[in-house]
Structure 1
């Protein structure tokens, strides 16, 4: 249980202030710390067509390529998001690479990612009419709770694999004719691929390292995941935002510039993130559901005596920790301790 130590470009990982708020952003669920799934509507061009004979199964829609990728595996703040994207096989390169220039979300600027996601959600766009997408938003609270279970720990790889499988199952249930599946690997590619081939035997499965750079549908999935996470970070931060110094001073006729707010990218290597954690830490409860309590960064801050409250628990077997000690002075050894909880009996004389 610890933070990802990979180097990240903080400027590329930090959301733009006006990031596009996609339909995958469920504000109430985000603020409550809940995980959830969002599926876009299947475009009419990809839906199965009924046959003339009502007793026969519908004619499947066009063969589609499907890609899956994640965003936010390493951060200490915010959700981890798995994104899925699908479209007709012949359109993969022409539409995604040549027309709209999709690429691994980690090499696209936050503004470019946001614009691509907005096009995908705009009804007049060719992306909207030809493609479908979905995300699994795995909240920081649930990630931490699963990783810190006292028994049968549900580690991050297992959580990620279940999210991937659940998303793909969801698209099949919508009737999409998925024939090729491309996934950025978790662990050993061949082991992961064999597992998925057994689960989805009707599709060709390819699991590879750097799949988000190799396959356009995986690149598009990474954009869906990253922009959803970017927007989720902004929504979660809003609950901490107070009127800026500029806003307060406007009422007093003063125009001093405010201190720049925000918690940055959410990565432990981001100074804005760690500074925010230190400044906004409750000495007893730590933070809200936006923080991953199973991460080393959080654990270290909670263990730091100069920041967190020092809590001393009674030693096992210490008689002073008995529940009955809170109900009055110590009783004689021969007294009926349990019987006296609700007062003592008295003799009534008539």
Structure 2
């Protein structure tokens, strides 16, 4: 699995696709979807899909596919390696790596875009990707996010003619969803191990723990690597309450105020037509620092 494109620029999302065997294009297939890393305050959330012909269900059982949370890291890695080698002619997979920066920016938009909506869109994107690659999808199984009936109706409207099942604990019930769960979990674990800190921090998974808010190692990492002005490194989902609470207590307070209008000169704030054309003596525009561009921050003159 080559995810260097993500680790080299971990503020952008990244999609990785396995080899697509001919058999999944010719035979009716079932497709499963699951995620890893929905709850942690650190690192990406990864959505994964796995697909295989319906008549290969026994083979998936023989592989030992199960809910990734019930397997050890060694067992997950072993099964995933088999999926990419011994079983590559019988199944395929795709993973969508959603960066912490993307997650936070999405959730903090002025127009509401919560984690459930983000998850739904990622799942839909994976299904569309598989179909566009020629996979003959006839059945879809998804571990639910939010209300199962509403989610199923949403998917059924989007993909008419395909038999869709949305259920709680689908990763423990359907082996094809278990396969997706393993792909997502292995990808997230590998990305975190190879995380490159543009801030110059030297740290490993042992230093930031599981990433879950109640992990004392994670809490210590957040406090240790918080800048009083700029906040947290990019591995942190700054939209999480765990992170925002620390900033409120420990960081320098910031107030955003509108510029006072000049009541004596109502036209003072109006732009002249000449302002839109650079003068001969105008200075070149200074490029914004990466900190601001990565977080979609820009200078404003009016609110």
TM-score class, shorter-chain normalisation, is 0.7 to 0.9
Task: Quickly say closer, same or farther: Cα 1:312–1:153, change in 2 above 3 A.
Answer: closer
Contact conserved, 1:31 with 1:289, CA < 8 A, in 2?
Answer: no
Contact conserved, 1:29 with 1:36, CA < 8 A, in 2?
Answer: no
- 1:212-232 C-alpha deviation (Å, 9 max, x unpaired): 001000000000011111111
- 1:190-232 C-alpha deviation (Å, 9 max, x unpaired): 1111221121122110110100001000000000011111111
- 1:26-66 C-alpha deviation (Å, 9 max, x unpaired): 3445644101222212113333xxxxxxxxxxxxx011110
Task: Quickly say closer, same or farther: Cα 1:43–1:279, change in 2 above 3 A.
Answer: same
- In the alignment, the residues of structure 1 paired with residue 257 and residue 161 of structure 2 have an alpha-carbon distance, to the nearest angstrom, of 59
- In the alignment, the residues of structure 2 paired with residue 185 and residue 28 of structure 1 have an alpha-carbon distance, to the nearest angstrom, of 27
**Partner of residue 77, structure 1:** 42
Task: Quickly say closer, same or farther: Cα 1:274–1:159, change in 2 above 3 A.
Answer: same
Contact conserved, 1:67 with 1:183, CA < 8 A, in 2?
Answer: yes
**Partner of residue 227, structure 2:** 282
- In the alignment, the residues of structure 2 paired with residue 201 and residue 138 of structure 1 have an alpha-carbon distance, to the nearest angstrom, of 27
Which residues of structure 2 form unaligned runs of 5+?
A: 263-280, 282-303
Contact conserved, 1:76 with 1:292, CA < 8 A, in 2?
Answer: yes
- In the alignment, the residues of structure 2 paired with residue 312 and residue 180 of structure 1 have an alpha-carbon distance, to the nearest angstrom, of 52
TM-score by length of 1: 0.70
What is the deviation of 1:130? 0.6
Question: What pairs up with 1:9-48 in 2 under 5 angstroms?
Answer: 22-23=1-2, 25-28=3-6, 31-47=9-25
The answer on 1:135 being equivalent to 2:90 is no
Larger radius of gyration: 1
**Partner of residue 95, structure 1:** 59
Contact conserved, 2:29 with 2:54, CA < 8 A, in 1?
Answer: yes
Contact conserved, 1:27 with 1:235, CA < 8 A, in 2?
Answer: no
- In the alignment, the residues of structure 2 paired with residue 42 and residue 119 of structure 1 have an alpha-carbon distance, to the nearest angstrom, of 15
Contact conserved, 1:30 with 1:232, CA < 8 A, in 2?
Answer: no
- In the alignment, the residues of structure 2 paired with residue 175 and residue 265 of structure 1 have an alpha-carbon distance, to the nearest angstrom, of 37
Question: What pairs up with 1:317-328 in 2 under 5 angstroms?
Answer: 317=260
TM-score by length of 2: 0.80
Question: What pairs up with 1:101-250 in 2 under 5 angstroms?
Answer: 101-122=64-85, 125=86, 127-150=87-110, 152-236=111-195, 242=202
What is the deviation of 1:119? 1.9
Task: Quickly say closer, same or farther: Cα 1:159–1:314, change in 2 above 3 A.
Answer: closer
Residue 65 of structure 1, aligned match among 30, 35, 47 = 30
**Partner of residue 294, structure 2:** none
Count of residues in Structure 1 that have an aligned counterpart in Structure 2:
262
Which residues of structure 1 form unaligned runs of 5+?
A: 1-21, 48-60, 245-259, 320-341, 343-350
What is the deviation of 1:277? 1.0
Task: Quickly say closer, same or farther: Cα 1:284–1:179, change in 2 above 3 A.
Answer: same
- 1:221-263 C-alpha deviation (Å, 9 max, x unpaired): 000011111111112166666499xxxxxxxxxxxxxxx9421
- 1:288-308 C-alpha deviation (Å, 9 max, x unpaired): 221111100110111123xx2
Question: What pairs up with 1:278-317 in 2 under 5 angstroms?
Answer: 278-305=223-250, 308-312=251-255, 317=260
